[in-house]
Amino acid sequence: MNKNSVETIEYNGIKYAEIIWADVTVSKTTFFSPPESSFQFGLLAHEAGFVEPPHYHKWIPREIQDLQQMFVVQRGVVVVELYSDEGELLREVTLRKGDAIVLIHGVHAIRVEEDMQCISVKQGPFLGDVNDKVFVEMKK
């Protein structure tokens, strides 16, 4: 694994997650998710002096079926466990300050190794834990 690049975690042709390691740099704004993805994931980068004129984003009805989630670690260490649709552990990803992951597909769990704080972003509206989360018994 090269931590100087964006990493995609795939299994059986399905993308489960993408990771932007803290030390990744780009010279210009780069999105890693495909344009059709319901969740856009990338790095904004501009040279000093760049000015983007005042603007807003058009209100366009969008319909999504999936719910993706992104963590950006601000402090601490967290391990994200990724599971296949069959319940097998695919990968454990250890994230530290500055690392980011977008959870695209499948079951995931987190384990906090050092007191952590993450920015968490996901599509809304939030429908509450009862409607939004399904807890799954995983294979040992």
The pLDDT value given to residue 131:
76
Element (H, E) at 130: helix 129-132
pLDDT tens per residue, range 39-48: 888 899 999 9
For residue 1, name the pLDDT band (cuts at 50, 70, 90). very low
pLDDT tens per residue, range 30-40: 988 888 888 88
The CA-CA-CA angle for residues 22, 27, 31, to 5°, reads 70
**Does the pLDDT of residue 57 top 50, yes or no?**
yes
Residue 59 main-chain phi, psi, to 5 deg = -80, 110
Domains recognised in the chain with CATH numbers: 6-132 (2.60.120)
% pLDDT > 70, the chain: 96
**Does the pLDDT of residue 87 top 80, yes or no?**
yes
Both tokens assigned to 100: 């980011």
